[in-house]
Chain A
Amino acid sequence: MPDVIPADSVGIVTPQIAQFDTPLALCCGQTLSSYQLTYETYGTLNQNASNAILICHALSGDHHAAGYHAVTDTKPGWWDSAIGPGKAIDTTRFFVVALNNLGGCGGSTGPTTINPETGQRWEASFPIVTVEDWVQSQVRLADLLGIKTFAAIVGGSLGGMQVLEWSIRFPDRLKAAVIVASAPKLSTQNIAFNEVARQSIRRDPDFFDGNYLDNKSVPTNGLGLARMLGHITYLSDDAMGAKFGRQMRHDSYQYNYGIEFEVESYLRYQGEAFTKRFDANTYMLMTKALDYFDPAAQADGDLAAVLSKAQCEFLLVSFTTDWRFAPERSEEIVNALIKAGKPVSYAKIEAEEGHDAFLFPIPRYMAVLSTFLTRVANRLTTEAN
């Protein structure tokens, strides 16, 4: 943590656990008889519970979206740049809920937790979960917190897919949807990247078909590789070029397979750091959830037909150098919303950071988000009077 907590930080936060004992039927056909969700909240829920914002996390995110867990923390939550007093997601006006999705490794029920029916860790036996399942479980969390309708649901990337699903499946439970750097379904290339990531994990001899913890092992090589691949796709060619170029470790080539270029060192470091905080089975599950998501499939690919159910207003944001979820993918959603006659605004933000841009405090991006949510907040005030 910094020496002094910044005035626009939510400060020290403590994760909470919600226990659910009503069975949850999953898309894959299996049922979770009970489960836990770990979540954090920032700000205060108002009297009529109308000022709540749900934050949906992306592939490697969790419930810790803002603030610090302890005074010894060096880094705040993953979206601290956007959440806090006076920030785009203003905690002086909104009550913010962020959770770790089912199947995650941040404390919610998932491969690393104990299956109450067997007393053993779930590991490979944890069922495949989908975006639909997550939204279902989030609805129950909302019920538990007494939130009938969210003022807004916000998410980037895989998080944006959850927001889209909310707007279609539970149209009366959100007033605004913010979908950042996302897509209505993955492209073939995206699925291909995910498969390479999963294969690199599966082929690690330490994977043990997913039961590595039982075998007192961790597939660090496979997971590290998967993350390295992911990392390349999250950045843009320009951003990597600007950061590393062909910068070298030594003055001249060594003609071996050690680290020659700085970018190699960076990727190895990122891969390794990731294995210390993330679970391989969860990574597999999350990439599968991405692959399966395709809400238009239920209407023969007609996204506009599916979105005609939506009742909220939308804000879509994309980033110019994002090639993993390119602006055109966001525009597919925008065009479908227009065809369906729904209120939607769209900003294509000039950014160098590639897909990762959605995590950065890029001034124009934050301004658009802030303007949109300020109006949402103002409308709440008007409606209350």
Chain B
Amino acid sequence: MRSDLEMIDEWIQPSIRVLDLACGPGELLHHLIENKQVNGYGLEIRPEDLNTCIEKGISVLEQNIDEGLQNFEDQSFDLVLMTHALQQFRRPDLLIDEMLRIGKECIITFPNFGHWRSRLHLALKGRMPVSDFLPYNWYDTPNIHFFTFQDFERLCREKDIKILRWAAVDGHLKDHWWIRSMPNLFSETAIFHISR
């Protein structure tokens, strides 16, 4: 399992109701169902990922998140998850509101565009960074919003969202003291556990 997922795992209580938005092939959900006995549902639109989830016995629903989540009732889940996908949606700010409406708590992970290598790439080459971690060109990337660790923190402040805890990890998904001390500069993946 991806280590950012491993980190999230430690934060999750057993037997809760979990909704995983853009769950992909269901790696995290599968783990949480097997090891934490959560009652989980995933949302996904890629047919091959959907099939992989069904194959694993995960409850997965084909639903385009950009078209809204009105079908989910207020506070109907203990936890709403979104790993490495927030940057792919039209209005991340409104989506976070929706996630906090549906879930009592949310965990969001995203690539930190404030990482020093991204900054250096743009500063020195004058071109949008392409890396192993974000392996797309500006024109074909599914990532339509780029934001940083700090941007996310600021948005939470503006929206009065509580940050219950956070973590910041490097490209090998390890957390080090220097990343913790300057997450906006050193983290490649940011992980936030939030609530209202």
Contacts and interface: CB of A to CB of B under 8 A. Distances in A.
B59 A345 contact: yes
Interface residues of A, number: 21
Contacts of B54: 315, 345, 368, 371-372, 375
B62 A346 contact: yes
Nearest to B51: A371
B62 A347 contact: yes
Contact of A367 (B39, B51, B71): B51
Interface stretch (A36-44, A119-127, A332-340): A332-340
A315 B60 CA distance: 9
A341 B17 contact: yes
- Considering residues A331, A344, A345, A371, which has the most beta carbons from chain B within 10 angstroms of its beta carbon? A345
Contacts of A375: 54-55, 57
A326 to B, nearest CB: 14
Please tell me the size bucket of the interface on B.
20 to 34
A86 interface: no
Given A334-B61, A339-B73, A364-B47, A345 B39 contact: no
Given A338-B41, A372-B54, A344 B59 contact: yes
Nearest to B52: A371
Contacts of A345: 50, 53-54, 58-61
Among the interface residues B17, B55, B60, B62, which one has the most CB atoms of the partner chain A within 10 A? B62
A339 B76 contact: yes
A6 interface: no
Contact of A348 (B58, B59, B62): B62
A343 interface: yes
Nearest to A372: B54
A23 to B, nearest CB: 41
Nearest to A364: B47
A130 to B, nearest CB: 29
Contact of A343 (B17, B47, B59, B62): B59
Interface string A343-380: 11111100000000000000010011001101100000
Nearest to B73: A339
Contacts of A348: 62
A182 B39 CA distance: 26
Contacts of A315: 54
Nearest to A369: B54
A335 B72 CA distance: 8
Interface of A: 313, 315, 331, 334-335, 338-339, 341, 343-348, 364, 367-368, 371-372, 374-375
Interface of B: 17, 39, 41, 47, 50-51, 53-55, 57-63, 71-73, 76
26 contacts: A313-B57, A313-B59, A315-B54, A331-B71, A334-B61, A338-B41, A338-B76, A339-B73, A339-B76, A343-B59, A345-B50, A345-B54, A345-B58, A345-B60, A346-B61, A346-B62, A346-B63, A347-B47, A347-B50, A364-B47, A368-B50, A368-B51, A368-B54, A372-B54, A375-B54, A375-B57
| 4 A-B pairs closest in CB distance | A346-B61, A348-B62, A371-B54, A343-B59
